[in-house]
């Protein structure tokens, strides 16, 4: 492959835009188009290697061999820890660079070997049936935005010249099921819901985190294909938010434009429509028809040039056209993959992701010195599937719950194991095996035990992306939120023995465990906790770590509480608009210690809407229990006099702090006027004069959280005076 380092685009001391222009000017139309599909071609005469844009890093480098497998995204969200999220993303980027460096040395430039990671997924988890909700940071736009920003910054690094890796915010926008209809579905959304719920995290990713890429969604949004939407990709993304990176289609989404959405009739028309409306890169092959589209006058070569410039800009920022020794990340060694430091980080993230849902009579933590026998029972007790979620890499070692318990107990403690049942079977098999055939062994193990740990829930085989969950009846989505199969029957049978039971749930989305909540004394939400999951859960069960996770998504009591899946209105959805009491609320989670809040203070109680004010909110938090622990301090805002429908209250701040017994800490939040503004029915961001309530505590200010925790939330009143002001979105 020829290479001339005297070419201007090869000269790192020249301005970046001049280098990009020089490179693009040397290309033929056919060569330009060859760069606009995910498997971009080599251009031998210029010494440019082929590059495959497709890589994944949702919770670790995926599909590319050995890499640290961190907890699934929904679990990392439950940690409510911005700094830890940043550290995890940085570790993922380090491993990604190490893999890229090793692959290049062996001339492997294939799929999943590049530096453009199509992560994070910052869609709103608006409906618990959605199979891909596990990939998200939950149901709240503020939480999703804060964690998304940290993940993107961690992945892209802070070098002033080069990206460590390129992040991609997906799937833009208004995308959260149904999976079976995603290639043809038209998501109808009001201007208010669009701006209030579905866009904020993407805005934060672009304007604050400077994300390099945005991926369009499969579906249409108000009639426009998301990957060819002038409203989304040009008016909002580029003109309003000033996005300077590149847009990539979801895989096969350009094909959908003519084949399923039937907006146009031919591949050339679909390709031209997408590129004219701001899509630069095709995960797929339809963009190969762009040469034909130019000849037919459907798209100009100048528009092609603009897209190609954006794509090469990303590769320049990744250091692909500079001398090896100039790029600081080129020397990262392969040995960092799944190293001891990263495994420790995975264990810490798994610990912080765990949510204690119930702890009647303080059954937990268990005292391992007083326990001689433990029964570990359930279909998820010894499962690798439930550690990894979807979009995963390959860990060098996995620790299921059973192994974690075995390693944690004292040497003389006997651990019995029985599967009891599988995840979903309810019928007698063709050879006469009953779905309850494992109950006898499970009951025997439980009878012999001092305490029983039940490992139940679902798995990525029962929820996920369309086609990825082979055992899902909903194409990846869930048709029921109950424990599937004979799991509840097994739980009831074990409960009837009268033994103390700890129920550990593995899942990427909410479960309706109403019976368990009423009857089982201790319940732990573990999500899909990553390669160190078993160790992390054991740490919590035996008190080596005090649980501090909080739910990033509401657990409803019944699917009867949900609107139609296809309805994208936020009416009666998520904690922000739900009318009924849930089983477990957003922001909820228990601890082995107790925290007391006092002295909630606003530095000003009256502000003028027309002044660019910032209100400082502070509160004292004290650990009033006997154990050290971390508390997630949460701030919510309620507009008491809004002229339009507004949320019940909205999360507008959170801080995770660790306190020793008796220790106090003053926590301060900054509340800008943007966080008091509402989105009106026309989609405008407006600050109205009126009264606002500021709530601060370890939970949201709802009655169900109060009932479950017995804790108080402090509140203060803030008055906004003056005239209504329209703010920048």
User: What amino acid positions are annotated as catalytic residues?
Assistant: 250, 463
d(CA 147, CA 660): 26
296 Cα distance to chain centroid = 42
Contact predicate 117/248, CB 8 Å: no
DSSP 432-500: ---TTTTHHHHHHHHHT-SEEEEEEE--TTTSSSTTT-TT-TBBTB-S--SPPTTHHHHHHHHHTTT--
Give me the residue label for tokens 């109808």.
Answer: 188
Backbone angles phi, psi at 493, to 5 degrees: -65, -40
Contact residues for 283 (Cβ-Cβ < 8 A; gap 6+) = 38, 53, 54, 248, 249, 250, 251, 252, 253
Considering only CA atoms, which of 126, 138, 118 is closest in space to residue 57?
118
Give me the residue label for tokens 């060859």.
Answer: 34
d(CA 116, CA 100): 11
Strand order in the sheet with 168-172: 168-172, 213-216, 246-248
d(CA 458, CA 310): 42
d(CA 710, CA 5): 69
Contact predicate 478/509, CB 8 Å: yes
Tell how strand 664-672 and strand 614-623 pair up: antiparallel
Q: What is the largest CA-CA distance in the chain?
A: 80
d(CA 9, CA 473): 52
Integer CA distances (angstroms), 591 to 229, 427, 630, 711, in order: 46, 40, 8, 12
d(CA 227, CA 230): 9
Contact predicate 642/612, CB 8 Å: no
d(CA 128, CA 133): 7
Q: Which residues of 649-661 are buried (b: 16+ CB within 10 A; e: fewer)?
A: bbbbbbbbbebee
Encoded tokens for 673: 């006027």
Encoded tokens for 500: 């103390």
């Amino acid at each position: 492959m020829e290479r001339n380092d005297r070419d201007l685009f090869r000269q790192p001391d020249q301005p970046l835009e001049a280098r990009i222009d020089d490179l693009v000017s040397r290309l033929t139309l056919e060569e330009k188009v060859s760069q606009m599909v995910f498997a971009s071609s080599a251009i031998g005469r210029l010494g440019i290697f082929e590059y495959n844009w497709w890589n994944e890093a949702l919770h670790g480098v995926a599909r590319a061999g050995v890499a640290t497998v961190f907890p699934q995204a929904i679990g990392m969200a439950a940690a409510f820890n911005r700094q830890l999220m940043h550290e995890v993303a940085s570790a993922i980027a380090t491993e990604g660079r190490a893999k890229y460096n090793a692959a290049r040395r062996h001339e492997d430039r294939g799929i999943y070997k590049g530096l453009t990671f199509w992560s994070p997924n910052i869609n709103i988890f608006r409906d618990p049936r959605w199979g891909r909700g596990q990939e998200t940071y939950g149901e709240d736009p503020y939480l999703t935005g804060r964690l998304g920003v940290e993940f993107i910054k961690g992945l892209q690094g802070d070098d002033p010249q080069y990206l460590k890796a390129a992040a991609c915010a997906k799937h833009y926008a208004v995308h959260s099921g149904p999976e079976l209809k995603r290639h043809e579905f038209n998501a109808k959304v009001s201007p208010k819901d669009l701006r209030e719920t579905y866009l904020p995290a993407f805005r934060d990713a672009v304007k604050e985190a400077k994300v390099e890429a945005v991926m369009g969604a499969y579906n249409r949004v108000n009639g426009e294909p998301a990957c060819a939407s002038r409203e989304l990709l040009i008016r909002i993304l580029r003109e309003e938010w000033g996005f300077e990176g590149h847009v990539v289609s979801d895989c096969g989404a350009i094909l959908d434009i003519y084949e399923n959405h039937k907006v146009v009739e031919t591949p050339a028309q679909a390709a031209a429509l997408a590129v004219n409306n701001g899509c630069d890169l095709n995960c797929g092959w339809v963009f190969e028809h762009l040469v034909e589209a130019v000849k037919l006058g459907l798209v100009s070569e100048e528009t092609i040039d603009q897209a190609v410039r954006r794509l090469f800009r990303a590769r320049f920022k990744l250091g692909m056209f500079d001398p090896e020794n100039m790029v600081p990340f080129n020397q990262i060694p392969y040995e960092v993959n799944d190293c001891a430091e990263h495994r420790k980080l995975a264990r810490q993230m798994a610990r912080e992701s765990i949510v204690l849902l119930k702890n009647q009579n303080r059954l937990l933590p268990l005292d391992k010195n007083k326990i001689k026998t433990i029964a570990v029972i359930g279909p998820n007790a010894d499962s690798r599937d439930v550690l990894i979620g979807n979009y995963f890499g390959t860990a060098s070692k996995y620790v299921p719950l059973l192994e974690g318990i075995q390693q944690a107990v004292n040497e003389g403690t006997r651990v019995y194991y029985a599967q009891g049942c599988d995840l979903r079977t309810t019928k007698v098999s063709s050879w006469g095996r009953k779905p309850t055939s494992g109950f006898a062994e499970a009951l025997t193990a439980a009878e012999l035990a001092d305490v029983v740990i039940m490992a139940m829930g679902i798995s990525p085989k029962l929820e996920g992306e369309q086609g990825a969950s082979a055992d899902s009846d909903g194409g990846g989505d869930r048709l029921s939120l109950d424990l599937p199969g004979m799991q509840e029957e097994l739980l009831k049978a074990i409960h009837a023995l009268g033994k103390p039971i700890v129920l550990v749930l593995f899942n990427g989305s909410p479960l309706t465990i109403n019976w368990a909540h009423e009857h089982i004394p201790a319940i732990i939400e573990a999500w899909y906790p990553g390669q160190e999951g078993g160790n992390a859960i054991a740490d919590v069960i035996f008190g080596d770590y005090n649980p501090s996770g909080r739910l990033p998504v509401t657990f409803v009591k019944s699917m009867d509480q949900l609107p139609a899946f296809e309805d994208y209105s936020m009416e009666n959805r998520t904690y922000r608009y739900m009318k009924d009491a849930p089983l477990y609320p957003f922001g909820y989670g228990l601890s082995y210690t107790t925290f007391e809040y006092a002295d909630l203070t606003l530095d000003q109680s009256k502000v003028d809407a027309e002044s660019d004010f910032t209100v400082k909110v502070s509160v004292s938090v004290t650990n009033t229990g006997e154990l050290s622990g971390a508390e997630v301090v949460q701030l919510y805002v309620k507009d008491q006099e809004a002229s339009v429908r507004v949320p019940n209250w909205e999360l507008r701040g959170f801080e995770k702090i660790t306190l020793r017994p008796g220790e106090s800490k003053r926590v301060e939040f900054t509340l800008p006027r943007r966080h008091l503004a509402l989105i009106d029915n026309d989609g405008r961001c407006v600050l109205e004069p009126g009264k606002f309530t500021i709530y601060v505590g370890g939970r949201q200010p709802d009655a169900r959280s109060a009932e479950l925790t017995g804790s108080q939330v402090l509140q203060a009143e803030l008055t906004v005076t003056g005239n209504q002001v329209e703010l920048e979105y």
